[in-house]
Amino acid sequence: MLDGNAIAGELFELFGREATTLTGSCSTCGKPSMVGELLVYMRAPGTVVRCPHCGVVAMVLVRVSGETRLTMAHFHLPEVPGGAAGLRP
């Protein structure tokens, strides 16, 4: 397990800026966390990112045809920076 800084490069690619210092909230437990505080597991077919408070899967990152795709089904960022190409609800 790593922290959210392990996905800093992929997030920069998607958002066009540093995103690990952004604060969002878990849609399951409601607790806020900076992206850099999230728990990252890189041994899956994609990268699984979990809430550090309740453990729910907050984000999943995968590479598809050379492009990084991000799903944030259980993590809400009040302001998604830069339009985020590849972002999936």
Q: For the segment 21-77, what is each residue's pLDDT rounded down to a tens digit? A: 999 999 999 999 999 999 999 987 899 999 999 999 999 999 888 888 999 989 998
pTM of the full predicted structure?
Answer: 0.85
Residues 20, 22, 27, 29, CA torsion sign:
positive
Helix (H), strand (E), coil (C) string for 21-84 = CCEEEECCCCCEEEHHHCEEECCCCCEEEECCCCCCEEEEEEEECCEEEEECCCEECCCCHHHC
